[in-house]
Chain A
Amino acid sequence: MRSGTMPTLSGRGALVFSLAMLAVFAYAAYEMNTAFSTRARLFANALIVPALVLAVAQVVREVRRLHPLPVPPEAAFTRSAFKWAAAFFAMLWAIGLAVTIPLFALVYLRLAAREAWPKAVAYAFFAWLFVEVLFIRLLHVPLPGGAIPLPAITN
């Protein structure tokens, strides 16, 4: 496996995931049983009671097994994948989707996929064209704008 990957499944991470699940059920139990009538919480309580029991059992099981496990192949996400995904959504928040699409496509293909400039530029252009023609012109779909206003570029 390349460097930057996460080859083992941390037992602590699995415990945190189970604890988060338990916390959600505990909060659900609290809200339903403090703010709702017996009739209104009928369905919720039918779920929450077994959920709390099973979640506690799962947490106990995870506590008793605090050691790394082999990562299944489908769970071998690389750290760079998270960084690129985070970059996309950060760009989306900052400059909006219309500008993010060609810019991200260009930078991602050039740096992450190590494509040649002409291919990356062509891809970025067609990505922009695809969104412009299909979503903006034909389907009239509004695209999310960014926190930084770029009125001349975004529609």
Chain B
Amino acid sequence: MLQWPTAGLLLLGVGIGFVVGILPGLGGAVTLALMLPFIYDMDPIPAFAFLLGMHAVVATTGDITSVLFGIPGEGTAVATIFDGHPMAKRGEAGRALGAVLFSSLVGAIIGAAVLAISVPIVRPLVLSFGPPEFFMLAMLGITFVVALAGGNLVRGFLMALLGFIVALVGLDPFTGKPRFAFGQLYLWDGLSIIPVILGLFAIPETLQLMSTHGAIAGEATGPITRVLDGVRDTFRHWWVTLRCSLIGVFIGIIPGMGGATAQFIAYAHAQQTSRTPEEFGKGSIEGVLAAGSVNNSKEGGAIIPTVAFGVPGSTAMAILLGAFLILGIVPGPDMLTKHLDITFSMVWVIVISNFLAVGLSFLLLRQLVWLTFIKGTWLVPFLLVLMTIGAYTTHNDVLDIVVMLVFGAVGWGAIRFGWPRAPFLLAFVLGPTAERYLFLSHQLYEWAFLLRPITLSLIFLALLGIAYSVRRERRDRRTASERSAGVAA
């Protein structure tokens, strides 16, 4: 990790993630997608040092604007606002920042430690899996992402199915015949992940930035003092920090739950178990610690299914899985045997990048605040350049830009009409693997592969996820109709 160019790329990644985390409106997943084209010529370890180093610190610095301005730098830093911002308003911004940043570091270390410990535990399980189990795991991952991430279940499944169909574009792996190629030689190789991701995520995000004028934060902050008090608070309330970190790890492992959910579960848990629950929402230090620790610990957890089973649980992890494929690495058993060095390098990347980010944050806290006064429109030409070059360099073909624009329209439509994009991306990334595993399973066992014990258990879990989501949808609909009936009365 400390060799050149790995260390340099890690520093670069941390630097980019650091700024992106502070800038609301520019998401970590989009930045990860924008940086994918740069890893083509890299070896796996430097590439992951760059990408994961960037991703691992986005949530850490995202907390800074949550505390100071009540604007989350990232969607996963919303819970920090509940108590961090009230603390800043009563003149304790430094203490809140000290607590949230240090608890983020503790959370990241716990997440990375669980990732490292899980390798020998998960290895026998992964090695015992065959094609039917891997196929069903991919299906389970998609189902969980659709069912647990909220939103409309039918739309979620349709987006996932669309992602699978789009992944079919290209030569049929078994007959060599082109599928959905429309006579275009360009499509024979299938659609590359980079223009698709850039279109789905970066184009709508850039359009949003173009639609907002003015600075990200307009409010001036008071002096930032007593940062070390916040660090001491982390040790004083170590039990909350530890529990919330572990909640983050376990939620991170479950595909579809993600950071946005984890922060609220951990926050609610901290409130329920606190001796002073009435202080939550008014500037409770325990609330700040819960939100900070859960934010970063979930990354270690989220990497476990991505690396061990090839099933990403979030958009960012799906993009990271795309990076694996670009580098010619197939996640799964190999990551726990042949490529164990890469898996363990990820543990170190999470730890080192968070140490760097938190250290830099403490050193530059006062200077960092000015970044939030950058206008969203200033980023627009820069993002347009990055996404155009990123898409074009996939094959040095203008059609890559066209593909990006087509999926930009899909991404725009999805946001506009309330269709989730994450299931599409996950299905698109998992499509070729799922097809291969289904083919092998069918070849080996015919349809009896569906009756194998582990496969049956995974089907049961998937059905459970769907049942949970249907129940939640019905409950939400009932609550909404009761509310509207109450308003009418």
Contact = CB atoms under 8 A, between A and B. Distances in A.
**Main SS at interface, chain A:** helix
Contacts of A55: 158
A51 B161 contact: yes
Contact of B158 (A21, A80, A131, A144): A21
B379 to A, nearest CB: 10
B377 interface: yes
Interface of A: 5, 9, 13-14, 17-18, 20-21, 24-25, 28, 31-32, 35-37, 39-40, 42-44, 46-48, 50-51, 54-55, 57-58, 61, 71-72, 74-78, 80-82, 84-85, 88-89, 92, 97, 101, 104-105, 108-109, 112-113, 123, 127, 130-131, 135, 141-144
A51 B175 contact: no
Contacts of B385: 97, 101, 127, 130-131
Interface in B83-101: none
A58 B158 contact: yes
A44 B392 contact: no
B380 A108 contact: yes
Interface stretch (B186-194, B251-259, B416-424, B478-486): B416-424
Contacts of A76: 211
Contact of A54 (B157, B211, B398): B157
A143 B208 contact: no
B155 interface: yes
A123 B382 CA distance: 10
Given A28-B168, A143-B389, A144-B392, 11 more contacts: A17-B419, A43-B439, A48-B161, A51-B161, A51-B162, A77-B416, A80-B211, A89-B405, A92-B401, A101-B385, A130-B385
A44 B343 CA distance: 33
Contact of A127 (B381, B392, B439): B381
B364 to A, nearest CB: 22
Contacts of B177: 35-36, 40
9 contacts: A77-B204, A80-B211, A97-B385, A101-B385, A104-B384, A113-B378, A141-B389, A142-B396, A144-B392
A97 B180 contact: no
B377 A50 contact: no
Given A28-B180, A131-B385, A143-B389, A113 B213 contact: yes
B226 interface: no
B461 interface: no
Contacts of A81: 207-208, 210-211
Contacts of B412: 77
B262 to A, nearest CB: 20
A153 B460 CA distance: 62
B225 interface: no
B119 to A, nearest CB: 31
Given A42-B439, A57-B154, A108 B381 contact: yes
B381 A101 contact: yes
B472 interface: no
A141 B393 contact: yes
B134 interface: no
A21 B207 CA distance: 23
Given A25-B161, A39-B174, A17 B207 contact: no
Contacts of A24: 162, 165
Interface string B209-241: 011010000000000000000000000000000
A37 B381 contact: no
Contacts of A75: 415-416, 418
B243 interface: no
Contact of B210 (A5, A39, A85): A85
